[in-house]
Amino acid sequence: MDLNPNLLVHAAPAMVVLALIELLILKHAGPKKETRKNAINSLVIGIGFLCVTLPLKVIPFAINSWVYQFRFFELKQTAALAIILALIAEDFTVYWSHRMSHNVRYFWASHLVHHSSETYNLLAAGRQSWLGFYTGSFLLFSWIPLLGITPELMLWAKSVNSIYQFFVHTEHIRKLPKWIEFIFNTPSHHRVHHSREARNLDMNNGAMLIIWDRMFGSFVPEEKETVYGLCKEIKNPNPININFNEYRDMYNDLKKSPKLYHKFMYIFGPPGWSHDGSTKTAKQLRRELAATNSKVIEMGNMNSGPAELHRNKKMEVAGVRV
């Protein structure tokens, strides 16, 4: 079996064509599905990402090559065991890396670029940060060579993972068979992840497999159409501002308090954290939402007859991070 480590490079032209075809379909669906400005931002950000990061990919490859010499196991790289192990190790690490990027502001400052589109489509999947590589998050994957996975096989597994993730960024696929929805990340699950409603914030972090979210308590099913984008609006959302806005805000927040602990939390705390409560984290918003829902249901039960009791229990109030 020929496992080409440059699989993503070869697949990229087809991915671009599919994104453009979907864009043409969305154009006839109305401005709510896609706008010209939003589409141009996605294209420019995606092209900028490739120009900035591709030349730097030799760095993690070199690090992984060095780590590989300390491997614990000898594996034939074309054997089924090595291939499956590489895919699972990659996906498991992507899950935790992705979850960290939603819970640590230092990493969120770059990752939010991917969430900045207010529409959800294949073109928006290309919104990747120009600065994400410089956060050093690629180091989280450097344990994988210790399993006996070569850097070349790692690149192949990462390509498969990236290609799979590209195709879940669509509204054209609704629900897949239940067994697929249970095991794998699907467009339905990932639409929840891109939602800015309080119920969905920081949930469904899986890349290929959704079982990680089910196992580690970060899974939320899709129940209705949602609103996409960032909770905190970026003024004049052009590619430059989208990539650098959060770093500017972080710098300004550091000046709000002289305490070192507060400064540390403004960088490494969860997004939305503030020392004075002026902004809220996703966990705080979910707690407030749960409390609000509880009060709404309680009030509904007090004012409703038995016939409406079941319906009231299903009431939900949406919220967003401010």
Within a domain: 272 = no
Same structural domain, 290 and 157? no
For position 176, what pLDDT does the model report? 96
Residue 237 lies in a domain: no
> pLDDT above 90 covers what percent of the chain?
75
The model's confidence at residue 302, banded by pLDDT at 50, 70 and 90, is low
Q: What is the pLDDT of residue 5?
A: 80
In a domain, 70, yes or no: yes
| 290 within some domain | yes
Whole-number pLDDT of residue 1: 60
Residue 118: band (very low, low, confident or very high) from pLDDT cuts 50, 70, 90 = very high
The model's pTM is 0.89
Structural domain total, the chain: 2
Residue of higher predicted confidence among 214 and 79: 214
Q: Could you say which of 131, 150, 172 is where a domain stops?
A: 172
Residue range of the domain that includes 290: 282-312
**133 is a domain residue:** yes
Are 243 and 114 contacting, i.e. CB atoms less than 8 angstroms apart? no
**Average confidence (pLDDT) over 91-119:** 97
